Structure 1
Amino acid sequence: MNTDQIWHTIDAQRAALCDLLAALDDDQWRRPSLCTDWTVRDVAAHLTLQQLGPGAVLGQMVKWRGTIDRTTAHVARVRAAALTTEQIVAEIRGTIGSRRHIFGVTRLETLCDILVHSQDIALPLGLRLDLPADAAAVAATRALTMRWPPPLPATKKMTGFRLTATDTSWSAGDGPTVQGPMAALLLVCCGRLAALPQLSGDGAAELTARTASGRQ
């Protein structure tokens, strides 16, 4: 995918997620997401923070909680408490058409965030929000190969397997085969264990055992 295609996909996924969020009731906003200890509201609030400049990023460091993960979670919860439901949806919708991204990362991290976090919200609610396979492939490749930002711990557990998509031309790694829809492979690469049942192949059972021992 070229730059224009990546941003078009980001815009389309943001729009689809906003439509989904706008239809949720109060109870659904309070439900757990696929992110451990994050509610649907926390994840949505996090997605309003995708265009922070250098000053805002440094400002977040004042709220440091010992690790990037804990700090990110704290900032998301503060944001979730500060904004109304309508404001959260409006702020995400307001990023559609913009090519800004958080200082220190690239458009590929922005793509990963919206693809994965939209599923963090939709799947536990039993709702469907399709991911384009070609974009999920780009995001998975980035997740498996990036060195900065630091790679997700879940990607280390993919080592020693041949990951193969069944709905697009994509594969990565060497070893026993683990295959499935590209969206499911992306989610597992990012530690979302809910997608494991969609995977099959000679290595699927071993990968499930390896990943199930950790948190997502």
Structure 2
Amino acid sequence: MDSDTIWSHIDTERSALADVLAGLPDDAWRTPSLCAAWTVRDVAAHLALSHAGARELLAAAVRSGFRYHAMVRDSAIRSPLGHEEIVERLRGFVGSRRTVPLVSEREPLLDVLVHTQDICVPLQVDHPMPTDAAVVALERVLWWSRRMPIGPRLSDVRLVATDVAWEAGAGRRVEGPAQWLLLAAAGRAEAHHHLRGEVAALS
């Protein structure tokens, strides 16, 4: 998938998520998301930090002791943005190709695809993930898992999509729609209910 298509998917997902968030009552923002220990508001605030600069990221890294997960969570929790500001920030990103330092366009694609489902699934909002974009994001998760694992171990698992001609890996077979394979590879336990095979290998 070329860069223009990737950015088109990112814009579409950001815009759609902004629409979902704009219509939420205040109590819905406190709903637990699929991302463990994060509320809908926390996830949305994290996505609203997609254009954070190097200085802002460095400050968060220092506060967290340079622990990646702690840094990401701390930044979202500390974000002063209100609900309307988060929505406006997401809408404002549409059309921009800016990324945080040292990442490609595949990282914001992965981020917005997974986190949109983190929000939509518990809120029972039906927002299917584009299959071609899900495959690109899946391949990025696998790329990262070989360098800096941040989710379940994927080295001895064969992932097989049932809605598109795609498979990767070697070992215990897990199959299902690309959307749920991506969410499982990203550590979302809810995805296991939508997959078949040796799903326990993803725990």
How do 1:44-83 and structure 2 match up within 5 A? 44-65=44-65, 67-79=67-79, 82-83=80-81
TM-score for both structures, normalised by structure 2 = 0.94
Query: In the alignment, is residue 181 of structure 1 matched against residue 153 of structure 2?
Result: no
Structure 1 distance, partners of 2:30, 2:128, is 22
User: Cα distance, 1:147 vs. partner?
Assistant: 6.3
2:140 is aligned to 142
CA contact (8 A) 2:61 2:68 kept: no
How do 1:15-34 and structure 2 match up within 5 A? 15-34=15-34
User: Cα distance, 1:83 vs. partner?
Assistant: 1.6
Deviations 1:92-144 (A, max 9, x none): 11101000001121111111000000001011111111110010000000101
1:129 is aligned to 127
Q: Provide structure 2 residue ranges, at least 5 long, that are not aligned to the other structure.
A: none
Q: Taking structure 1 as reference, are residues 118 and 181 closer, same or farther at Cα in structure 2, changes over 3 Å only?
A: same
CA contact (8 A) 2:185 2:202 kept: no
One-letter identity of the residue aligned with 2:160:
T
User: Cα distance, 1:27 vs. partner?
Assistant: 1.2
Structure 2 distance, partners of 1:103, 1:64, is 18
Query: In the alignment, is residue 4 of structure 1 matched against residue 4 of structure 2?
Result: yes
2:105 is aligned to 107
Deviations 1:45-103 (A, max 9, x none): 00011112222222322322451101211110111xx1211001001111010000011
Q: Provide structure 1 residue ranges, at least 5 long, that are not aligned to the other structure.
A: none
Name the % identity. Answer: 43
One-letter identity of the residue aligned with 1:207:
V
Structure 1 distance, partners of 2:156, 2:89, is 41
